Structure 1
């Protein structure tokens, strides 16, 4: 029996396992905190603004620093950056779990959530680049289908795990990362992955521009729910952030050793894969937050029960991810990406039509269908995008792709969150007025209800009209998600080319062998 080995002579599956353990923490932490938010807010006495930032500081840090992490991996070394990222992530997780009560709590947990994101941004591009360099192009689809399938599944498991750990202590949702980090470090030591990298100057000017642009633009959307769209600070923040991102692109084009080679977007396939990924990620991470909130408020479930509900999304996702990876290896990315986006759009649309019935039994397989659509497209789109890079730029290409993904996820959370709160506020106000409450008093009460975090864990203690009004606001969000994935399907259909991508090394060998050999 022959065991496939990587460049260092170690079995390739051992390298893959090491990288999956390394990045698993970053995926779990994208969703695990959302379940524990009510308990964290109650125990630490956080403001609504503070608890929002405890959730979103992590994603924002990932989005702002991914390009830096990818560039760092390609210039310093992929294995070094994986180890550094794992250690930084685990240390920040421990500090989050040790958040003190009192006046320091809010600044403490938000700061270390951002540090967690920095660790993930350093680790993830390096880990993905190691997998890409370990597996040849024709085997990469299966390997990365497993990589993204497990990682995406862990995103779905986050709320489940968070629900049950929170019943012990919310601090455990952070401490659970520590044993995972230790396993990852042991596997990295055993597998000793070997990759190529090239020393180069670091573009700190570009880092400052992209970090500031991402932070300001997302900050504006996130604060709109709290400050209101009439506040001039919202428009100024969003406008300044977007302007800085435009300046970043122009500066990078003229920089000798840029943080991000923006000219890579001239590659049509890379451009369209990232467009599709960006559109899809407006939905993928937010669905876990809104699904958890709907389960706790609309269905009146406990934190643990609401996490279990999202396992249906995971079930569809992980099965379809394996099929999508095989489709990529056999016929290229277009078919699984278009099919996945379309299936996901249908799943979200049908799910939206059932949420106001407040009966999850009528929704569960529609949730799985939406998850399956995401599973079909996410791995192939990400893999095909990274495959467009040269061997020495895999980390950089991953950094670009993940920047797009996390920036879009942050925007999706902020924008859909604003829409959800606005819809819920409007419906609760109307319901209270219909019950005889004066309009001004009803609006004030609705504002308090719409800013509350999470459910109470019991359908009995939540008035039926509140549950129904929240379900209607969730329906609006799901319909928007369906439309968003339909747009992604159209972009993929029109922008992606059919057929399997050729390996540049194989093309070069064929050309050198002459026309007869090539044929």
Structure 2
């Protein structure tokens, strides 16, 4: 549910814009503010789970997520639509962020040591799968029931989640203690300043004094937050885990992979709908090569990791395919011929499906068992932040390239889409050599069999 909502609104953005009178700035912002809230509040979810109990935190998150989803469906038209959607989508992201740390904590508890890495990889793979399924689910719902249904569907799903958690009879143990307020506030404000400052560059211009000041303020706030956390006796995030090199490498690569994936999914979906003029269902169907390839890459990832016992195989193979595919897809966007785009979609899909499950499994092997809950919260926070930063940068590039009239009409031109895709290509082009240089060479020494020893 949480992963799906990062991209399920992509197909609904066009009918939403026409129904509510949204600008292009706000169309992109509807997705960005949700992903940003996930990144900023996942550490808070981890803190609450430790202090007041996992089930209490999960129930609060699920209820908040479902309530905010219902409110999104009630968005009014006219001038109130944009601020209203910003607020309720942010609240929806907060609800999702409270659930995510509990999910990985439960998996770590119910599986034995020898199976935990595989279980976490499956969990990450399913999250990846629902992320890419979002536009197709959104297309079906919007075509049959209207764009508001992409939010209303979360009401029964949220109720089902709460019912299943009640039947699971999980422990609700809590460490207790006081809740920190200063650290969460500093982290949230710093990420909001940085990400929204980056996105605003598309309106002001990348060399505008206001844009440079916003980026400087955001960067300074992030450094202040890091310093505050490192000096705390009870840190919100265990940043010292980044001193473990294999873990730090895996987290950094996960951050970089998340960015282009969201860019291609969101902007590619809007391009198919607006530039090619496809119907809602046709847009969803046209995304099948990307989705099917990504699903294949997700499930192939674990096989390659076990077959070759090396993280380099699925990650480097995936990044190579994703880079070539993204460049090929970008190159044919101006032609507006769908069939020419399919090879790039296939390569990009399988390429971006390969790295994340393998990285998720291996990074948990690099940390001591007692540190894995903290390691999972940090990984999730940084992964979601990668998506938020990527969307902000791509959105800024698209806004800068978009025509003013198109922006006011809620239309993203082909030139603007190409600019957003170019950001994804650049990120992948940087990530591939970084992975070549930093990933460990040779076969891993652990594995499922040795993990329980």
Per the normalisation by structure 1, the TM-score is 0.80
Deviates more, 1:230-239 or 1:494-503: 494-503
What is the aligned counterpart of 2:430 among 487, 494, 498? 487
Alignment deviations for residues 204-253 of structure 1 (CA, whole Å, 9 cap, x no partner): 22211111110001111212222333543322222111111111111111
Per the alignment, residue 367 of structure 1 pairs with: 345
Contact 1:68 1:399 in 2 (8 A): no
Deviates more, 1:128-137 or 1:367-376: 128-137
Per the alignment, residue 39 of structure 1 pairs with: 15
Per the alignment, residue 397 of structure 2 pairs with: 419
Per the alignment, residue 61 of structure 1 pairs with: 37
Q: CA deviation at 1:54?
A: 2.7
* 1:123-138 map, 5 Å: 123-138=99-114
Alignment deviations for residues 301-321 of structure 1 (CA, whole Å, 9 cap, x no partner): 123322222222111111121
Residues 503 and 155 of structure 1: is their aligned pair in 2 closer, same or farther, counting only changes over 3 Å?
closer
Q: Please give the alpha-carbon distance, in whole angstroms, between the structure 1 residues aligned to 2:22 and 2:293.
A: 36
> Between Structure 1 and Structure 2, whose CA radius of gyration is higher?
1
Alignment deviations for residues 420-466 of structure 1 (CA, whole Å, 9 cap, x no partner): 3334x4xxxxxxxxxxxxxxxxxxxx3212554247xxxxxxxxxxx
Contact 2:140 2:280 in 1 (8 A): yes
Contact 1:217 1:241 in 2 (8 A): yes
Per the alignment, residue 435 of structure 1 pairs with: none
* 1:120-199 map, 5 Å: 120-167=96-143, 168-194=145-171, 198-199=175-176
SS in 2 for 1:26: coil
Per the alignment, residue 71 of structure 1 pairs with: 47
Q: Please give the alpha-carbon distance, in whole angstroms, between the structure 1 residues aligned to 2:59 and 2:306.
A: 30
Per the alignment, residue 439 of structure 2 pairs with: 496
SS in 1 for 2:387: helix
SS in 1 for 2:12: helix
Per the alignment, residue 30 of structure 1 pairs with: 6
Query: Tell me, which stretches of 5 or more residues in structure 2 are unaligned?
Result: none
Deviates more, 1:196-205 or 1:307-316: 196-205
Contact 2:184 2:236 in 1 (8 A): yes
Contact 2:125 2:299 in 1 (8 A): yes
Q: CA deviation at 1:31?
A: 1.1
Per the alignment, residue 340 of structure 1 pairs with: 318
Alignment deviations for residues 300-341 of structure 1 (CA, whole Å, 9 cap, x no partner): 212332222222211111112112123334514332122211
Q: Please give the alpha-carbon distance, in whole angstroms, between the structure 2 residues aligned to 1:480 and 1:362.
A: 21
Question: How many positions carry a matched residue from both structures?
Answer: 450
Per the alignment, residue 302 of structure 1 pairs with: 279
* 1:302-321 map, 5 Å: 302-321=279-298
- Greater relative CO (CA pairs within 8 A, separation 6+): 2
Deviates more, 1:272-281 or 1:491-500: 491-500
Per the alignment, residue 453 of structure 1 pairs with: 410
RMSD across aligned positions (CA): 2.7
Q: CA deviation at 1:124?
A: 0.8
Q: CA deviation at 1:130?
A: 1.5
Residues 210 and 240 of structure 1: is their aligned pair in 2 closer, same or farther, counting only changes over 3 Å?
same
What is the aligned counterpart of 2:202 among 216, 225, 229? 225
Deviates more, 1:198-207 or 1:310-319: 198-207
Per the alignment, residue 277 of structure 1 pairs with: 254
* 1:351-390 map, 5 Å: 351-390=329-368
